[in-house]
Every structure is written in C-alpha cells, then in structure tokens.
Amino acid sequence: MKNSEFTENVIIITGASSGIGRELAIQLAAQGANLSLAGRNENRLNATAERCRQSGARALIVPADLTQAEECRQLIERTVQEYGRIDILINNAGNSIQSNLEEYPDPTALEQMIQINYLGSAYCTFYALPYLKQSRGRLVAISSLAGLNGIPGLSGYVASKHAMTGFFDSLRLELKKDGVSVTVVYPGSVASHPEEILSNKKGANTKLPPGMMSLETCARLTLQAVAKHCRDLVMPPGKIARWMNLLAPGFLDRMILNGIEKDRAKREVNFN
C-alpha cells in the first residue's frame, strides 16, 4: 500500500527491535515510508530492517542507548544525513519492572525507568524539534494505560509514563503555532511476545487471552490515529477507566486490584 499518508515520509522509530516498535516499522514499510530504526540490540534491529526492506522500503539502523543524550543526538543527526529531513518521530522505546516498591533490590531501578521511558523520549524530541518544525511534522509518544492510572506492582513504570503524558501534553500546546502535531498513544495489554503467550507446557493455543491486543492491531490503530493527527488514542479498556477515575475513583481502584488478582491466578494456571 504505497499510496498512503506515510508514503515517502522519513520516520524515526525508537525501540524498533521488537514489540510494538518492530510492528510499526513493518506496517510503515508496507506503506512506503523511509525508516530510521533505533534500539540497543543491533542484531534485532538488522532483522527488523531486513523485514522492512522486503517491502521495498529504505531502512537505516542506528544502535543507540537512548538514556544517553549524546546518542539521541547522533540518532537524529544520522537520520538527517541519510534522508535530509524528519517528518515523524515515534518515541516507543521503554522498559518496566513488575514488583512492589518494597521488593526492589535498590531504588536506582526507579531512575532507570525514568531514563529510558521519559528522558529517552525527551532527549530524542529535543534534538528532532528543529527538523520537525521545518517539515511541520508529527511527534508520537507510545505511552501506556499506566500513564493514566495507578497500577500496583508497577509504581516506577507508572511514574515514568505519567511523566511522558505531562511532557507531550505540554509540547502539544508549545508546538501548535509551528504546525507540529503531537499524538500520545495509551495501549493496554499488548502481546509484545506472542510466541511466549500462545504456547505453554501442554502445547500451543490459537488465541490470545481475553482483553489482550495483538501487536498488529495495536500498530494499525496507532498509525490510524497518527494519520488523523489525533491528540491521543486511548485503547480498550482505557476509555472506561478514564471516566471512572473521574466519577468513581474508589470503585476503579477495587476493579484494578481485582483484575490483577484474576490475572495472576490465570497465569499460574497457564504456566505452572
């Protein structure tokens, strides 16, 4: 599908070696985009780039540690050297730790999540802004439903995603006069590693667990929102949770806690 909103656009995707970032790259390649793919794992980046090139797309890889401002600058500069401009920056790279705060080995784990999830996005955005203003381009932040509500066992991750939300919501207002759109995406439960989810000791399953979205669907909905210059995209069940947080926050807290307990029980049945 070469005649699309993204045909010939120069698009940077961070965290492109796996998960949502990889799927975004594959779908954009099929739509004729020129890609710059960033991540820490060079071998996986090469695999993503090769898959994109099979669709006829150009794909530059830039191995980078996005917690380092200088490497973020180099990512932007290498992209401009290769393509001459930047049309879209998709800030997707991130990591998480699932553990109650008291169970952390030490508090520096909080800093690590802030560095990659928030500061990595902020650094890349800072260096890309002059080029995005020139192209009147688009900024995209892949956040999480965790950026809208508290979730027990993910306090550090939630904090980093809330920081992203505040940062990009503020930039949307700052950049309005420059014609640069800002889209913040809030995925829910996504099968980032479907090969692990769709198999267990008893054999292979054919369907994802209820409430879990496929990578293909998540990427497709994201690109639809970016194409329309949407301010945000809240994926199921986030829209309901967003309203409940305003109207009945105590009830929402109980729902979240009950949901986590049910999910833990399901995982024990499926994987033990």
Which active-site residues does the annotation give? 157
Question: How far is C-alpha 19 from the geometric centre of its chain's CA atoms?
Answer: 9
Kindly state the tokens that stand for 143.
């956040």
**Among 118, 23, 136, CA closest to 72:** 118
Please count the CA atoms within 13 angstroms of the CA of 255 that sit on its side-chain side: 14
The one-letter amino acid code at 205 reads N
Contact 199, 205 (CB under 8 A): yes
User: What is the Cα–Cα distance from 43 to 108, expressed in whole angstroms?
Assistant: 28
Contact 36, 62 (CB under 8 A): yes
Residue 142 φ/ψ, nearest 5 degrees: -90, 100
Give 206-242 as a 3 state SS string.
CCCCCCCECHHHHHHHHHHHHHCCCCEEECCCHHHHH
CB atoms within 10 A of CB 225: 19
Place of tokens 């800093």: 111
In this structure, what is the dihedral angle of CA atoms 238, 108, 193, 195, given to the nearest 10 degrees? -140
Crossing angle, helix 19-30 and helix 42-53, to 10 degrees? 20
